[in-house]
Chains A and B, each alone.
Chain A
Amino acid sequence: MIRIALLVAAKDLRIERRSRVLLWQVLPFGVMGLVLSGLALGPTHAGHSSAGPGLFYLVMLLVTLLMINRSQAIEGSRGTRASVATLGLDPAGVFLGKALALAVELWITGAVLLAGAVLVLHTALVGTLQALPSVVVILAALAAAGTLYGALSGGGQGPATLLPVLSLPGFAPLLIAGERSFSASLHGGAFWQWWVISLVALVAYLAMGILLYGVLEDS
């Protein structure tokens, strides 16, 4: 399972590096989302960082939707799916590999957008750095949940509108935990308890993916 996971993750990341979708499409989209959020708040409120954590995670959710679609599209054509199916890859390994590749891409995007939050939304640098452990876990949980919802919504074969409808309610607890944890890091508070909740969510989504991904792929 781990061997297949590393193989699939390396393949997905190589394709991403080759296609440069992350660099030229996803990152600009995320940065624009963050800047527009700052503009929507206006100069008075953007200067106060209380909305920063929520806006950061809201933009990350939109970026996650884009990346899930991209991740599923890699396997999208019927011919590719059929050929890969005949390799007999362990579905749990495929799930872990796709989730790992997606997590790496989200971590890169998250790092850029955190820097953007400091610059555009004026979140405190020290508090933002303190929030890093929870951001890493939340984005990994988003990647695991997103990979699962991507398969559930048809794995690139279903209608594009199905993914947000299915996944956003599932992402809501992660958004809340992330925002609470980030805010606690900035303004003081028990951010560790939110970090632990995020970790439990990550483990739960990984377990569900390992168990269900093969069934979803076959259906």
Chain B
Amino acid sequence: MASSPTSIVTLRDAVVLVGGFPLLSGVNLDLEAGTLSVVTGANGAGKTSLLRLVGGLVSLSSGTGEVSGIDLATGDLRELRRRVGWLGHEGSFYDDLSAKENLVFAAKALSRPTSEIDGVLYRVGLTSRASMAAKHLSAGQRRRLGLAWILLRRPTLWLLDEPYASLDDEGRTFFDQLVGDVVRSGATVLVSAHDPLRSSNLHPRTLTLAGGLVVGDEG
């Protein structure tokens, strides 16, 4: 598979079928390490499926793909999942546990010191909600908790599915700043969104999906 030495994601004619229906119909894509890319498109265009494929959360039906050096067809997808951070739009944690308990579970699962948790909660602005059950957090606060979960993991590839949904202006600004910091630290970020990022200094590459294909590539 021909790919740039600095590519962290390489897809060639990637097809994902679920129940015989093509969610991705032959995607060709290269993502360089340490970059920010935004995937836009209408509902059902394949944005979430592309992110799930890159994260090893759905199998490649045909074509070829390599993410973080792991072949999507023959490689260890469990190892790939360990290397990515995922923020889904459905909620990303255990509703009956508090914000802090969710992070303690993640930290212990990763053998990370739990002493980092207070700092992460502070960074996402959830210190005052640390002991509140996740199900009682607002939609925006749940997004922030999802980001805290990823920050704790420090992955090299961030996959953020519709992160702007339910965020107010303050939340969007916070999110743009965080993504900027993450990209500057060398991580790769792939975001699905209906609208372009607001912040003018992020300069993301914008990919447009339609019918499971990349139909536009700018930046």
Contacts and interface: CB of A to CB of B under 8 A. Distances in A.
B106 to A, nearest CB: 6
Contacts of B87: 83
Contacts of B155: 86
Interface residues of A, number: 21
A77 B90 contact: yes
A208 interface: no
A86 B86 contact: yes
Contacts of B133: 18
A87 B91 contact: no
B191 to A, nearest CB: 16
B55 A82 contact: yes
Given A4-B109, A11-B105, A88-B79, A83 B97 contact: no
Contacts of B34: none
Interface-central residue, A4, A11, A15, by most chain B CB under 10 Å: A11
Interface string B109-135: 110000000000000000000000100
Where chain B touches its partner, the secondary structure class is mixed
B112 to A, nearest CB: 11
Contacts of A11: 94, 97, 105
B3 interface: no
B175 interface: no
A74 interface: yes
Contacts of B52: 82
A211 interface: no
B92 interface: yes
Contacts of B84: 86
A89 B109 contact: yes
B108 A80 contact: no
A176 B94 CA distance: 37
Interface of A: 4, 7, 11, 14-15, 18-19, 74, 77-80, 82-83, 85-89, 214, 218
11 contacts: A18-B133, A78-B88, A79-B89, A85-B57, A86-B84, A86-B86, A86-B153, A87-B109, A88-B79, A88-B82, A218-B77
Interface of B: 52, 55, 57, 77-79, 81-82, 84-94, 96-97, 101, 105-106, 108-110, 133, 146, 149, 153, 155
9 interchain residue pairs of minimum CB distance: A79-B90, A79-B88, A88-B82, A83-B92, A15-B96, A18-B96, A87-B109, A79-B91, A79-B92
